[in-house]
C-alpha cells in the first residue's frame, strides 16, 4: 500500500475509493464495497462513519477505537449476494493487524436503500 492508495487494498487513491464514502459524496453500491469502506474507516479511526453504516438494530451507542491498533491489510475471501439486486449479503474476510488477524463473515442489509453492517461471526483468530 502506498501512502496515497486506499487502505481497503484496491489500487485506487483513497479519495476516489473509500474516501468518497467516508465524506458522504457517495454510498457504497455493494456489501463488499461497504465492507472495504468500513475496514478503511477502522484504519483511519473514523468512528462516525462506522456508526452511520451500522444497522440501527445492532449499532452500539458509541464506539471507542484503540489508537494503538495498527491494521495492515484486508483480504476478501468470499461474498454471497450483496449486489444492487439484493437486499442482504455476506462478506467473508481476513483483516490483518500487527500481531495477528481477524477472520470474520459479516452480514449486511439494505436500510432505506443503503447498505449497512448488521453483525459478524468470528471464524477463527490468529
Is the pLDDT at 58 greater than 70? The verdict is yes
Is the pLDDT at 91 greater than 50? The verdict is yes
Q: Which triple of cell numbers denotes residue 76?
A: 476478501
Q: Which residue has the cell 436503500?
A: 113
- Per the prediction, the chain carries an average pLDDT of 95
Q: Which residue has the cell 477502522?
A: 42
Q: What pLDDT does 1 receive? A: 45
Is the pLDDT at 30 greater than 80? The verdict is yes
Q: What pLDDT does 4 receive? A: 76
What predicted TM-score, i.e. pTM, was given to this entire model? 0.94
User: Kind of pairing, strands 88-97 and 114-125?
Assistant: unpaired
Question: Region 58-77: what's the mean pLDDT?
Answer: 96
User: Given pLDDT bands bounded at 50, 70 and 90, which one contains residue 124?
Assistant: confident
d(CA 93, CA 13) in angstroms, rounded, equals: 21
Q: What pLDDT does 67 receive? A: 93
Collapsing DSSP states into helix, strand and coil, what is residue 88? strand
Cβ-contact 125, 102 below 8 angstroms? yes
Burial 47-79 (b: 16+ CB within 10 A, else e): eebbeebbbeeebeeeeeeeeeeebeebeeeeb
Amino acid at each position: 500500500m502506498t501512502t496515497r492508495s486506499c487502505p481497503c487494498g484496491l489500487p485506487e487513491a483513497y479519495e476516489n475509493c473509500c474516501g468518497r464514502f467516508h465524506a458522504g459524496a457517495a454510498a457504497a453500491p455493494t456489501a463488499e464495497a461497504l465492507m472495504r469502506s468500513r475496514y478503511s474507516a477502522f484504519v483511519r479511526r473514523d468512528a462516525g462513519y462506522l456508526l452511520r453504516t451500522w444497522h440501527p438494530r445492532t449499532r452500539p451507542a458509541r464506539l471507542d477505537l484503540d489508537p494503538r491498533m495498527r491494521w495492515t491489510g484486508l483480504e476478501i475471501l468470499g461474498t454471497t449476494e450483496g449486489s444492487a439486486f439484493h437486499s442482504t449479503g455476506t462478506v467473508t474476510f481476513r483483516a490483518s493487524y500487527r500481531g495477528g488477524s481477524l477472520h470474520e463473515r459479516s452480514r449486511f442489509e439494505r436500510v432505506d436503500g443503503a447498505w449497512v453492517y448488521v453483525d459478524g461471526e468470528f471464524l477463527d483468530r490468529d
